Amino acid sequence: SAAAAVTSGTAGRRALVRRPARNLAEGQLTHIRRSPIDLELAVLQWRGYVASLEAEGWETIEVEPAPDLPDSVFIEDAVIVFGQLAVVSSPGAPSRRGETRAAEAAVRALGLSVHHLELPGTLDGGDVLKVGRTVYVGQSLRTNAEGTRQLRAILEPRGHTVVAVPITKVLHLKTAVTALPDGTVIGYRPLVDDPRVFPQFLSVPEPEGTAVVVLDPATLLMSSAAPRSAALFTGLGYRVITVDISEFEKLEGCVTCLSVRVR
């Protein structure tokens, strides 16, 4: 089985986060209808998310805020980290292209080796799912074949295999699927185009249950909007920590996109 490369122990676990912009409510929407955003609540939820990471032994590093870039809180889309290697993305939405500069400064400050994706290639970090040495890349409205080709050219010489996955029902690959520490890919079946591309696939009962952040080999962070999925993971032996991220879910964000785990 494709065992996921998850570092154990608490040393050196760092996560990039970026506080919500004042115009968060103007963030992009593709597959869902706009509903009112409570900015104050969003800030409280963001703080709760950061506190949960820290309580689990993660040091959080704040990327310089971008108060006028509405989707900048979704830092996962701007930079992808593979161990000591950072790939600065080429955001598919023109309104998000300004987000990468400060994300790059943050990974440089961490001493990571930095690569870039460039137009006409586009790729959002939310389309990249690592499972062991396999890197699945969603082919979405945000990520195109050229962006995928550029990422492959960076990763394949370094021992990763890049697998392109069609995404038509949700914004990003990681809106549809993420992975458990043992490499099982999890997803809400109606939103997954073709689960047969994954060696092991487990269906979860709620759309918000598809996104988990693996905090350590035994612990998952997920949305409080998916209690039946949480119970499923608990039954598999995981410790599950939940956070309310309703204001970000209204903007097609999920628990993964609010941080970049450096590991």
Q: Are 124 and 77 in contact (CB under 8 A)?
A: yes
CB of 71 to ligand CIR, least distance (A): 4
Among 76, 99, 104, 249, indicate the residue that binds ligand CIR (CB under 6 A). Answer: 76
Catalytic pick from 31, 115, 160, 172?
172
Among 174, 179, 229, 230, indicate the residue that binds ligand CIR (CB under 6 A). Answer: 174
* Distance in angstroms (rounded) separating the CA atoms of residues 259 and 261: 6
Counting Cα atoms < 13 Å in the Cβ hemisphere of 152 gives 15
Q: Give residues 237-256 in contact with ligand CIR (rule: CB under 6 A).
A: 251-254
CB of 142 to ligand CIR, least distance (A): 7
Task: Select the residue whose beta carbon is closest to ligand CIR and give its number.
Answer: 126
Q: Does 112 bind ligand CIR (CB under 6 A)?
A: no
Among 46, 49, 58, 74, indicate the residue that binds ligand CIR (CB under 6 A). Answer: 74
Alpha helices in the chain (DSSP H): 39-55, 100-109, 145-155, 173-176, 227-235, 246-249
- Judged by CB, which is closer to ligand CIR: 24, or 57? 24
Kindly determine how many residues on this chain lie close enough to bind ligand CIR according to the rule CB under 6 A: 19
Q: Give residues 120-149 in contact with ligand CIR (rule: CB under 6 A).
A: 126
* Distance in angstroms (rounded) separating the CA atoms of residues 24 and 42: 9
CB of 137 to ligand CIR, least distance (A): 13
Q: Are 150 and 121 in contact (CB under 8 A)?
A: yes
Among 77, 104, 247, 249, indicate the residue that binds ligand CIR (CB under 6 A). Answer: 77
Give the per-residue contact string, 29-58, with ligand CIR (x = CB under 6 A; - = no).
-x----------------------------
Q: What angle do CA 117, 120, 122 make, to 5 degrees?
A: 55
Q: Are 141 and 147 in contact (CB under 8 A)?
A: no
- Judged by CB, which is closer to ligand CIR: 95, or 236? 95
Q: Does 185 bind ligand CIR (CB under 6 A)?
A: no
Q: Is 123 helix (H, G, I), strand (E, B) or coil?
A: strand
Pairing of strands 161-166, 134-139: parallel
* Distance in angstroms (rounded) separating the CA atoms of residues 155 and 83: 12
Q: What angle do CA 158, 159, 160 make, to 5 degrees?
A: 100
* Distance in angstroms (rounded) separating the CA atoms of residues 180 and 200: 10
CB of 175 to ligand CIR, least distance (A): 5
Structure tokens, 192 = 């997954």
Q: Does 175 bind ligand CIR (CB under 6 A)?
A: yes
Among 24, 102, 171, 186, indicate the residue that binds ligand CIR (CB under 6 A). Answer: 171
> Quick check: is 172 catalytic?
yes
- Which residues on adjacent β-strands are paired with residue 221? 213, 241
Supply the residues annotated as catalytic.
172, 257
Which residues contribute to the site for ligand CIR (CB under 6 A)?
A: 27-28, 30, 71, 74, 76-77, 93, 96, 126, 171-172, 174-175, 251-254, 257
